[in-house]
Amino acid sequence: MPFSPSGSGGGSSVLQADTTVTVGSGGDYATINEALEYLSQFFPAYIQEGYTAEISLLTGFVMSEQVIAKGVNLGWITITSVDAEVVIDRSALTIGFEGAFPAFAACNGTLPIIDVLFNMDSSGSATTRDGINISTNSDATALPGKGVKNAGGKGAFIAKTSRAELDGAVFTGAGTYGIEARDMSHVNAESSDTSGATTGGLRVISAGLIEASGATGTLSQTANTLTGNGIIFQ
């Protein structure tokens, strides 16, 4: 079970040990957002290798919510799962963000590290139902073999001088582009998989930059060629 924050008045407390909370049937919390609200009461104390927090999604958990980080750094939290894949209920993506309805979003913030392979189902509308959508100097990380499959819109949309570490990540079967970088954003998509995306695998626009050595999926322009849309290194 999660431990209670120390201190008075319900303010932030210092995290002085690694901690794990569980989400799903029989777990500590019913939703990812509830777990994030709890963990965000803490901030990690400095040690050389850092303290970490984990949100473990239990067997059978279905993500029927959106995680939206606005002006907050959640990058010290990692989301993991017991199951090999976790379903995203697409019909639950109803909150608009930067013209889309993403499962994970950030504006001037940092998303939790995604160590889960999510699979978006076919319920509800597919239009602009992105897997990850970050904007305005934000950060996102999906670990190798993890990410969001079958997003109704874009697998990962990185905009407005944001950064994404998607080395080896999976964004297959997207309804439009697998990974898109725009507005001077930088994506490391080396060894990523964007195969099966309806419109294209990797796309740069408006001075985007994607590092795509070893990536699987089509490119929006010739590799290693600078254009007005940016550059894809491969």
Both structure tokens of 32: 């990812």
Alpha helices in the chain (DSSP H): 32-39
Confidence grade of residue 46 (pLDDT, cut at 50, 70, 90): confident
3-state class (DSSP) for residue 92:
helix
Contacts (Cβ under 8 Å, ≥6 apart) of 78: 52, 53, 54, 55, 112, 113, 115
Residue 89 has pLDDT above 80, yes or no: yes
Tens-place pLDDT, residues 164-194:
999 999 999 999 999 999 999 999 999 999 9
pLDDT at 201 over 90: yes
Check residue 168 and give its pLDDT: 98
Per-residue pLDDT of 49-84, as tens digits, reads 677 899 999 999 999 999 999 999 999 999 999 999
Query: What does the pLDDT read at residue 11?
Result: 52
Q: What is the pLDDT of residue 6?
A: 42
104 pLDDT band, cuts 50/70/90, is very high
Return the pLDDT at 9. Answer: 40
Closest residue by Cα to residue 43 from 73, 1, 71, 68: 73
% of the chain at pLDDT higher than 70: 93
Q: Is the pTM value of this prediction over 0.95? A: no
pLDDT the model gives residue 208? 98
pLDDT band (50, 70, 90) for residue 42: confident
The neighbouring-strand residues paired with 77 are 53
- CATH topology for the 59-233 domain: Pectate Lyase C-like (2.160.20)
DSSP 15-59: E-S-EEEEESTTSSBSSHHHHHHHHTTEEEPP-SS---EEEEEPT
The pLDDT assigned to 8 comes to: 36
User: What pLDDT shows up at residue 7?
Assistant: 39
Question: In this predicted model, what pLDDT tens digit does every residue of 116-156 receive, in sequence order?
Answer: 999 999 999 999 999 999 999 999 999 999 999 999 999 99
77: closest CA among 51, 104, 106? Answer: 51
Q: For the chain, how big is the Rg over CA atoms in Å?
A: 17
Structure confidence at residue 12 (pLDDT): 58
Residue 103, phi-psi category: left (phi > 0), alpha (psi -120 to 50), beta (remainder): alpha
Using CA atoms, how far residue 45 sits from 72, 113, 226, in Å, is 17, 19, 43
Taking the domains of the chain in order of start, what are their residue ranges? 59-233
| Cβ atoms within 10 Å, residue 217 | 23
